[in-house]
C-alpha cells in the first residue's frame, strides 16, 4: 500500500482528494493536516467522512508530516508550499503540490503574476508540470510534481493538438473559460456569497489572470516558440465545472472531420480524454465528479476559424483527480487506478 499524507485537507481540493483516495485500492491515508483545525476529527469538519475515515487533523510540520509516508499531497493556498517543500523533499518523500507554487519555470513570473519572490527558486527547474497527457514520461520520475490548475488543464488540452501540429496561427488565440464557484477556494469572499453569485455571470481578472503564464508556458513548449493567448475567466453560478471555448485561426483550410481525427490520434491511449464526434459538444454535467476531459470542435469555414470546446470538473481533473492520476504514474501503478468513475448525473 502507498501511504500518503494530505496537507491542507480542509479546503475543497483537500476534501475531494480524500474522497478519491479513500476508495483507491492501493492507498492508505495515514495523516491529514490543518493549521486551523489541528486536534479536530475529520468528521467534525467534513461530516461526509464519518465512519469512513477516522483521522484527526495535525499541524503541518515538514519533519513530522513525512513520517511513515511515501507521498505528501500539498493542498495549500498559493505561496505556502514554496516555503515548506524543500524540507519535505529532503526526506526523500515524493511531493505533489496542488497549488501554483512550482508550475512556472521562471522566478520572475512569480514576481509578475503572484507578487512574491520565490523562496525556493532552484526547485522550479526540478519540478515536473503534471499534465500527464503531455508529460507522462517525466511524471513517472518526478520527486516534485506541480499539479496544473483547472483553467490551464481545460485550455491546454483543448489546444495542444492544433498547436503541436501547427494547424493554427500562433497569434490571436482566444480562450473564454467559465468556472464554478469552488474554483475560488473555500475561504468566503463577498462576491462568492450565494446572493451575489447566483443568477449572475461575471468576468474577472480580465487580461491579468495568474493562470495565463501557465497556459502560455505549456503551449509555447508544444509550439517550439513563444506564444501568447487572450485568456478571460468567468465565474458561473454552479458548484463544479470548467467549460472552455477556444478560438484560433486555421493556417490552411481543414474540415471538422479531419481535425477530429487529429485529436483522436493525439490523445490515443490517453484514458481520460474523450474526443467527441462531429456535432457533439461537451457539457460540465457529463464530467461532474470524474477525471475526464471531454473535447468537441467545429471548423467555421466562413471565417477560417476552429472552435474547440472542453469541459472538466475543476475539483477532479482540474485538481485532485489529476493529482491522483499523477501519483499513479509516479508510483508505477496503472494510470486509471481509483479513478474509473462515471459522472454524477443528475
Q: Which helix (H) or strand (E) holds 292?
A: none
- For 85, the grid coordinates are 517543500
Active-site residue, 244 included: no
> 346 preceded by cis ω (within 30°)?
yes
Among residues 150, 163, 275, 316, the one annotated as catalytic is 150
Query: Do the beta carbons of residue 321 and residue 339 sit within 8 Å?
Result: yes
- Say which DSSP state 316 is in: I
CA 130 to CA 2: how far, in whole Å? 19
Sequence-distant (≥ 6) Cβ neighbours of residue 170 within 8 angstroms: 163, 223, 225, 227
Letter string b/e over residues 226-249, b meaning 16 or more CB atoms within 10 A of that residue's CB: ebebebbbebbebebbbbbbbbbe
147, 237, 144: which is closest to 192 by C-alpha?
A: 237
296, 243, 274: which is closest to 342 by C-alpha?
A: 274
Secondary structure class of 112 (helix, strand, coil): helix
Beta bridge partners of 274: 294
Query: Do the beta carbons of residue 93 and residue 111 sit within 8 Å?
Result: no
Alpha-carbon separation of residue 270 from 58, 80, 167, 321 (angstroms): 37, 32, 21, 15
By annotation, the residues acting in catalysis are 150
Amino acid at each position: 500500500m502507498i501511504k500518503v499524507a494530505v496537507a491542507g485537507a480542509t479546503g475543497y481540493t483537500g476534501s475531494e482528494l480524500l474522497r478519491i483516495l479513500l476508495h483507491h485500492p492501493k492507498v492508505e491515508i495515514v495523516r491529514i493536516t490543518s493549521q486551523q483545525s489541528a486536534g479536530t476529527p475529520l468528521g467534525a469538519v467534513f461530516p461526509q467522512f464519518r465512519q469512513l475515515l477516522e483521522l484527526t487533523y495535525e499541524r503541518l510540520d515538514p519533519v513530522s508530516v513525512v513520517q511513515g509516508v511515501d507521498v505528501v499531497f500539498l493542498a495549500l493556498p498559493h505561496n505556502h508550499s514554496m516555503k515548506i517543500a524543500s524540507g519535505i523533499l529532503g526526506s526523500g518523500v515524493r511531493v505533489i503540490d496542488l497549488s501554483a507554487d512550482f508550475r512556472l519555470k521562471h522566478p520572475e513570473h512569480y514576481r509578475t503574476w503572484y507578487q512574491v519572490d520565490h523562496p525556493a527558486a532552484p526547485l522550479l527547474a526540478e519540478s515536473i508540470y503534471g499534465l500527464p497527457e503531455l508529460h507522462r514520461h517525466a511524471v513517472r520520475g518526478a520527486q516534485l510534481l506541480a499539479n496544473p490548475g483547472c483553467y490551464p488543464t481545460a485550455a491546454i488540452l483543448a489546444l495542444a493538438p492544433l498547436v503541436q501540429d501547427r494547424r493554427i496561427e500562433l497569434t490571436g488565440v482566444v480562450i473564454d473559460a467559465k468556472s464554478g464557484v469552488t474554483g475560488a477556494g473555500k475561504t468566503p469572499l463577498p462576491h462568492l456569497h450565494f446572493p451575489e453569485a447566483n443568477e449572475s455571470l461575471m468576468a474577472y481578472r480580465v487580461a491579468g489572470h495568474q493562470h495565463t503564464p501557465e497556459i502560455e508556458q505549456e503551449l509555447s513548449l508544444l509550439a517550439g516558440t513563444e506564444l501568447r493567448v487572450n485568456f478571460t475567466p468567468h465565474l458561473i453560478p454552479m458548484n463544479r465545472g470548467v467549460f472552455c471555448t477556444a478560438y484560433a485561426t486555421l493556417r490552411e483550410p481543414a474540415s471538422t472531420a479531419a481535425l477530429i481525427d487529429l485529436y483522436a490520434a493525439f490523445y490515443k491511449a490517453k484514458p481520460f480524454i474523450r474526443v467527441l464526434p462531429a456535432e457533439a459538444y461537451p457539457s460540465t454535467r457529463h464530467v461532474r465528479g470524474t477525471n475526464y476531459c471531454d473535447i468537441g470542435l467545429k471548423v467555421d469555414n466562413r471565417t477560417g476559424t476552429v472552435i474547440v470546446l472542453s469541459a472538466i470538473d475543476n475539483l477532479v481533473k482540474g485538481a485532485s483527480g489529476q493529482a491522483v492520476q499523477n501519483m499513479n504514474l509516479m508510483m508505477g501503478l496503472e494510470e486509471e487506478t481509483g479513478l474509473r468513475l462515471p459522472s454524477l448525473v443528475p
